[in-house]
Amino acid sequence: MWIGYCSTCQKELQVPPGLPCVQCASCHSVVEVAPDPRITNPPPPQLPTPRPPVQQQGSKRAVICGITYNDTSVTLEGCINDAKNMKYFLLNRFNFPESSILMLSEEETDPNRVPTRRNIISALQWLVKDCKAGDSLVFHYSGHGFSLEDKNGDEVDGFDETLVPLDYETEGMIVDDDINELIVKPIPIGVKLHAIIDSCHSGTVLDLPFLCRMDRTGRYTWEDHRPPSKIWKGTKGGEVICISGCDDDQSSMDTSVLSKEASTGAMTFSFIQAIENGQGTTYANLLYSMRSIIQSAGSDMKLRRRDKLRNLILTGEKKFRIRQEPQLTANEPSDLYHKSFSL
């Protein structure tokens, strides 16, 4: 409090600090308050320190499925190795807790972990259940993939893509429409799901609306794969990206490049190698690097086709190519050369 004087009646005024004006008690004039002559540099008013925004810490969860179809006419060699390599990779490279990784393979002793159609569907339901903003989800599948004639008119090319469970002969395959319903449509805002699918005919196996069509120089455009039927194939606001082994009309391969005894999927191998070699900084760099690894290795990778199933089951008149080019699909298009990759 300091003493001033009314400019109208010259009466003494008691002025609280910081007020721009004050009313005289005698003449009731409103008087502008000059700075207190005793204070040359008045301190600024003290404002409360703002708190930093709360960073929402999400959890990590993964389903890993590897099927070799042992003791059948369509046996594959590298799929369980793919599953083991992917688990090790998620644990050590991206810090997934071991308790949050659900493994399905023929080596599992728990009957609920054997990759039957029912168990795979249950695992996918677990993967997305109660997910919340900040969560990172991963679905890795290594096994047979197949292509069936589309029955509901939601495919641009007229064919549904499928995953092939261990008991497909009695229980049927898992069609892309079902996969989309299970793990794409439920994803809410702030949740990210990556599907890493190492199988034949897997380019659009999640039925995502947009496909990145990349040429051999690394240039790409987005193809609109939203169904003519206008059926919604997107998410509830979250992000879903699928990196698959090959285009819908191509075959995926096995390779024994890692060792003379161990066989792996060429796609799973190239995915891990690209990231470990520092070539997975963005999604476009990752996709281009995966393709380059498979293409340049050529005969050194001892590639073996995974499409034995097609030799036993014929569908439609669709022609399939031997060349393998990993694909990327997404629920929304983006600038893949500026979009950082992370799990």
pLDDT digits (tens, 9 = 90+) for 192-213: 999 999 999 999 999 999 999 9
Is 48's pLDDT higher than 80? no
DSSP SS3 for 171:
helix
Q: Which CATH architecture has domain 60-330?
A: 3-Layer(aba) Sandwich (3.40)
**pLDDT tens across 152-181, in order?**
877 777 789 999 999 999 999 999 999 999
Say what the pLDDT of residue 10 is: 66
Mean pLDDT computed over 14-22: 59
Residue (of 190, 186, 240) closest to 210 by Cα position = 240
Least confident segment among 29-33, 179-183, 216-220: 29-33
User: CB of 129 within 8 A of CB of 63?
Assistant: no
Q: What is the pLDDT of residue 313?
A: 46
Supply 295's token pair: 């293409």
Q: What is the mean pLDDT of residues 70-90?
A: 93
pLDDT of residue 29: 66
Residues with catalytic roles = 144, 200
What is the per-residue burial (b if ≥16 Cβ within 10 Å, else e) of 66-85?
Answer: bbbbeeeebebbbbbbbbbb
Burial of 58 (0-12, 13-18, 19+ CB in 10 A): middle
Q: Which amino acid is at 253?
A: M
pLDDT band, very low/low/confident/very high, at 235 (cuts 50, 70, 90): very high
How far is the C-alpha of 268 from the C-alpha of 274, rounded, in Å?
10
Q: The tokens of 279 are what?
A: 């070539």
Q: Specify the pairing of strand 101-105 against strand 159-163.
A: unpaired
pLDDT above 80: residue 51: no
As a whole number of angstroms, the distance between CA 12 and CA 340 comes to: 69
Task: Using the predicted structure, report yes or no on whether residue 114 has a pLDDT greater than 70.
Answer: yes
Q: Considering only CA atoms, which of 309, 305, 308 is closest in space to residue 323?
A: 305
- Entry pTM: 0.79
Q: What is the pLDDT of residue 158?
A: 77
Give the three-state DSSP class for 340.
strand
The per-residue pLDDT for 243 is 98
Q: In Å, what is the CA distance from 132 to each residue of 60, 76, 180, 258?
A: 11, 36, 19, 37
Q: What pLDDT is attached to residue 154?
A: 76
Average pLDDT, the chain: 84
pLDDT > 90 fraction of the chain, expressed in percent and rounded: 62
Domain boundaries, the chain: 2-32, 60-330
Grade residue 312 by pLDDT with cuts at 50, 70 and 90. very low
Q: Name the residue with higher pLDDT: 106 or 55.
A: 106
Give the pLDDT confidence score for residue 12 in this predicted structure: 67
Q: Is 40 helix (H, G, I), strand (E, B) or coil?
A: coil
